[in-house]
Chains A and B, each alone.
Chain A
Amino acid sequence: MEYFTTIINLSLLASMVRLSTPLILAALGGMYSERGGIINIALEGIMLAGAFTAAAVTVFTANPWIGLIAAVAAGVLVSLIHAVASIEFKADQVVVGMAINILFIGVPALVSGALFESTGSTPPLPREQTLPDWNIPLIGSIPVLREILSGHKPIVYMALAMVPLSYYILFRTRFGLRLRAVGENPEAADTAGVSVRGMRYAGVLLSGALAGLGGAYLSIGQNSLFTRNMTAGRGFIALAALIFGKWHPVGAFLACLLFGVADAISIRMQGVVPVPVQVIQIIPYVLTLVVLAGFIGRATPPRAIGTPYVKEK
């Protein structure tokens, strides 16, 4: 029982928020892409690109905000490869995603080796050159919420703000309606005068921007350098959260919190509780399989996902 209070406490919730942040951004990103009909398993690679770019640019500019913007730009650029291959060349979206994941195992190491003479990591940044901790005025004065929600990196608040914003965009704007239409029934959307190509580009590039930002959080928020393969499967967990949350922004957000708290618990359990960390680590994946098998409701993907759109002549 003495384990219990060392593990389950307010700071656990704070670390849940921190650990969920990159997942939330990547999962919401994946949502824009997949709602538009482009399957995006490249989230992992895009996050790696964002994480590396953020760290490398910050090393040269000594300004994490420029690093952050560069990471978003890198995410957009990488997702542009995905978009062009999937939309223009009608390549298999899963294969393209896989190629991008492999590409960004290699590229950061290659560039890092050339720039910093170390393929393993970028040079560590001094603390003042990473993103600052933000104390939120109003929440900072409420006892319990202060512990959980205040004093995080700016990207945490961006991620939290993106959840209602994404809900609004997806379900309350014309853009969202069109994006969903293109993902469900591109023929009908096309007939109604919606540009299938344009909407799909928008979806994929948005996913790149958000996943890139999620990557930046890892290298210049949570840490102060980029290390090889530092995403460690987070892009895939985000994908799992997206499915677990049934492609809905609030659902995906809750799934990310769930996976984030599982991660936080597994970190705290190390060396404290005699339950192997591996058991906790596989929980998100097992849960996703259970959902996919239809035991907890049914996860139905957007109908036209994965299919290139060929205009009828």
Chain B
Amino acid sequence: MKGLIQQLIFPLIAVVAAFLVGGLIVWMVGDSPLLVYELFFTSAFGSVDGIGYTLFYATPLIFTGLAVAVGFKCGLLNIGAEGQLVMAAFACAWVGLVLPEWPSLLVVLLAMIAAVAAGGIWAAVPGVLKARFGAHEVITTIMMNFIAFGIVSYLTQYHYRKQGDPILETRPIAEIKDGVLTGPHIPRMHDLLAPFGIDFPAGVPLNLAFLFAIAACAVVYVFLWKTKWGFELRAVGISPSAAEYGGASISRNIILAMAISGMLAGMVGVNEVLGYRYRYYDGFSALYGFTGIAVALLGRNHPAGVLLAAILFGALTRSGLFIDIFTDRVSKDWVVVLQAIIILFVACGGAFRVGARRLKLMKSET
């Protein structure tokens, strides 16, 4: 219990300090910090709609936060979640586009598999490059991000866009016909809760993917702390040489950790395509991959922490629009600034020093 409090106290201090600095910025810009704080709480948590949106914005961050956390546990920093989730979202929509006549449920399943596989493969490449050639995963994932943006934007623009559509997006995979959404998709919270007599607002895009995200937290926890594979993966992250001495393969675990990380990031595509927009929309990701780093850091790489941190960041995103509208001079970019300050504070806190523990670049044998 004492350990748990110690785990919580530091991120809490970082968040409070960031909010204070954020308030100072609001004051300097010429608005009332108290008004901004109030807008934050009321818009994000003050109504069922607000909470629904907060959780909706938290959903992709839970996945990317878990993705980064799994990498961290193996001593890897996956800053390529952004590219992985973009590939995944496109793959997800692509399955829907090429199998128009197939039964919806089957297409949903295949699209989910495609999303997870695309994310996993896109992350496994830097894993292989690191395991095989010692190439630093930070640099290779940055490169893989830009390659992913290029490929997907090309495919969308030249092959899967509706004729004459000014927006860079694919054709829809599900559309509203006679008031009913037809085509492959996963249900929204409104439809999921209706059978239980709960009237969740129909306009809120919170969907089944949020429950997948909660489940992913549990799965990642069990995998990392209750299985032999998870133990090995963490052992490599703590001390590669000791783990190797104990019989664990460093290369195999690096590739495995990156692949799992990418698969989790890929689930963002499921939320976006099957649960929200029903198409691939170029540029949909609001820095989910990068914010995932902040979420993992703040959540101390623990699934429960990731969940809480994602909800905080989801709440920030939700409140951004309201802060933009209801203050004179503060724009929604304040939220982005605040997120960056939180990352800086957590990184400087010293309680979390990946740098010292992160896997060193492996020297080539030759």
Contact = CB atoms under 8 A, between A and B. Distances in A.
B150 A282 contact: yes
Contacts of B293: 95, 98
A92 B157 contact: no
Interface string A227-241: 000000100100110
Interface in B306-362: 329-331, 333-337, 339-341, 343-344, 347-350, 352-356, 358, 360-361
Nearest to A110: B333
Interface string A269-313: 000000010110110011011001110001101000011100000
A233 B147 CA distance: 12
B136 interface: yes
B353 A91 contact: yes
Interface residues of B, number: 56
In this complex, the member of A100, A288, A307 whose beta carbon has the largest number of chain B beta carbons within 10 angstroms is: A288
A98 B290 contact: yes
A240 B143 contact: yes
A101 B138 CA distance: 15
A102 interface: yes
B355 A93 contact: yes
In this complex, the member of B129, B147, B158, B361 whose beta carbon has the largest number of chain A beta carbons within 10 angstroms is: B147
Prevailing SS type, chain B contact patch:
helix
A90 to B, nearest CB: 6
A279 B152 CA distance: 11
B340 A99 contact: yes
Interface in B205-261: none
Given A100-B340, A298-B364, A289 B140 contact: yes
A307 B25 CA distance: 32
Nearest to B352: A92
Contact of B355 (A41, A103, A306): A306
A236 B139 CA distance: 9
Contact of A91 (B151, B335, B340, B348): B348
A109 interface: yes
Nearest to A88: B348
A90 B353 contact: yes
A243 B29 contact: no
Contacts of A240: 139, 142-143
Interface in B140-164: 140, 142-144, 146-147, 150-151, 153-154, 157-158
B331 A98 contact: no
A40 B157 CA distance: 34
Interface of A: 39, 41, 81, 85, 89-96, 98-103, 105-107, 109-111, 113-114, 119, 233, 236, 239-240, 243, 276, 278-279, 281-282, 285-286, 288-289, 292-294, 298-299, 301, 306-308
Interface of B: 25, 29-30, 77, 79, 129, 132-133, 135-136, 138-140, 142-144, 146-147, 150-151, 153-154, 157-158, 287, 290-291, 293-294, 297, 329-331, 333-337, 339-341, 343-344, 347-350, 352-356, 358, 360-361, 364
